[in-house]
Structure 1
């Protein structure tokens, strides 16, 4: 179409190379198409290629996202260089720079934080994390934010900068084997060695408690009303449901204590009342 057409007007004046309206539309269309195709490329790479070499979905997603970003970056540069004269972008580039400086600071911060997460991999898809008041499994890491799914199937969108600037507890960073503490209290009349054997027996019978490392029992303290123990168990299947595992163990412990007549204490207080001579009133 002729550049003098009414619809194809110049967006900027830059000597002999003005930025035309249709040129900008063509660039936008090609960039949108590039993002769409790069997303498809990532899906194919993760599901059909990486799945053959790695069972860790987090690693596959990280590598796929890095490839997607690289494809968008280099493809975008090629589209801009071959479609628009670089000199005609001076005005728009300056305006964009001002916009980033004043209005897009948080977006730029989250995007850079997303790149740091992908390259350093302090967290990845599938990890069980705890940041602030949020606890859940990471299901998606995008350029701006990370999606965390809680045990109540609630998706929480957390900006990537939160994972860089704040302390993050990653329960599965070093592996899926996690040790849980199950506190137990019994009456003072009970034999600690007997209590330990009962707790170990209960832990070993649970199908989701690992045999290696073996469960253990610590005699923690003489409490105000009880002897306090700490049952230590390892699991790889209840990493995202620690409360459920503890509940199941408490049910089993209660039945075993009932079978062995082990007394579970309750708070007691002794009251000492002093009596004295009453002074008669006048």
Structure 2
């Protein structure tokens, strides 16, 4: 494994940080190579500590000298947290940040010129079914990029982009995307109720429909468009529903585009706050 023998420090033990750490441990990272710094100890972090014996500190220890640092704190905490991190980093310490809207230039201002990877995982990483968009600065060597790829891919595939600006677009699509899908399930369930179904049955139908369709897309070699066409019989029920959903003015296509661009624009704005 690319991260064998690497000392990894995680700054922030929230759900996403813990999801990634759990993936690393399952993939073979030795618990003694991993340390996490977080003033709080939530359920997910407690489970990792108790299950694997990883080192947990409430403040950054002075005796740490990591090869890789994962910065997994909220974007609004960065300016407060990063100055304390800078003194423990070597010139070639790889910094991987998963904070939305926090640019490589911002990280470098606080940490110095380090090899930096910006990454945007999503919440299905919690069950090993995430996907991550990532960007590496010029200071990241091929070996370091391979280490970052191995760490990030422990919870799902990694897609590398050539321009840092595209990370904001990744945020709008896959970073925020699970929330859109969850809301679709909510809307399907509410629509089922409106059609006369009991609320609990409508929700079960919606959850399994969304989850099953997602799994089918992953397993199938067909495009989503072809899968949609396969379900749609001429003059049938699905076609009737899709006429509403696919309306170019009032349907889903313009609404989803507006949604993704709003999320992307907020990520851009965060980088300027």
Establish whether TM, by shorter chain, passes 0.5. Answer: no
Per the normalisation by structure 2, the TM-score is 0.26
| Structure showing the higher helix proportion among its residues | 2
Tell me which of the two structures has the higher relative contact order, counting C-alpha pairs closer than 8 angstroms and 6 or more residues apart.
2
Larger Rg belongs to: 1
Q: Which has the higher strand share?
A: 1
- The normalised TM-score by structure 1 is 0.26
